Amino acid sequence: MTSPERGALVEIVGSAIDLHRLVAHVQHDGIGAIATFLGTVRDLNDGRHVTGIDYEAYQPMAEAEMRAIAAELGVQWEGLSVAMVHRVGTLAVGDVSVAIACAHARRAPAADAMRTAIEALKVRVPIWKREHYVDGEWTWVDPTLRAVAP
């Protein structure tokens, strides 16, 4: 059993993410639902075959922004517990790049908060990715250049 008053777990890490650590962080006797999210490296992006992604973060600011997101979620859904971890470095197709766990007494707030958390992370947290393609080329991904968000 852990205390519901425990602060959010927020980290940028350089090695494989263990989802169970996030779940253990948010779990306590007062919650009835844990919604989790894993983002993984996809083999195809914008029609190009991806072989891997280098992730880079401005670590102190990235962790500050993730803490801010967690705090905002806690205001919107009282009693919410949050864990958000993003990995940096070179990742292969299939590797987990980001993990989120949101726990609440009820399932709807847990699921809604999880969705809100990943959407906020993608637009606010200073993390970048350089995609490597099967033809040997690479590019920094710029979501603002897409006409329609995925």
Partner 1 sequence: MMNVPVLVFASYADAFGARTVDVPVPLPCTVADVVSAMRALPGGHRLPGHVLVAVNHAYAKPGTAVDHGDEVALIPPVAGG
Q: Which stretch binds partner 1 (CB under 8 A): 2-10, 20-28, 106-114, 135-143?
A: 135-143
d(CA 59, CA 84): 13
- Total site size for partner 1, rule CB under 8 A: 29
Write the binding mask 25 to 64 for partner 1: x where contact by CB under 8 A, - elsewhere.
Answer: --------------x---------------xxxx-xxx-x
- The H or E element that residue 21 is part of is helix 19-26
| Residue 140 interacts with partner 1 (CB under 8 A): yes or no | yes
Q: Which is nearer to partner 1, 20 or 42 (CB)?
A: 42
How far is it, in rounded angstroms, from Cα 87 to Cα 99?
A: 9
Q: Which residue has the tokens 């009282």?
A: 78
Shortest Å distance, C-beta 55 to partner 1: 8
Q: Which is nearer to partner 1, 27 or 58 (CB)?
A: 58
The string over 30-50, giving b where at least 16 C-beta atoms fall within 10 Å of a residue's C-beta and e elsewhere, is: ebeebbbbebebeeebeeeeb
Report residue 140: phi and psi, to 5°.
-75, 125
* Interacting residues with partner 1 (CB under 8 A): 39, 55-58, 60-62, 64, 86, 97-98, 118, 121-130, 140-145
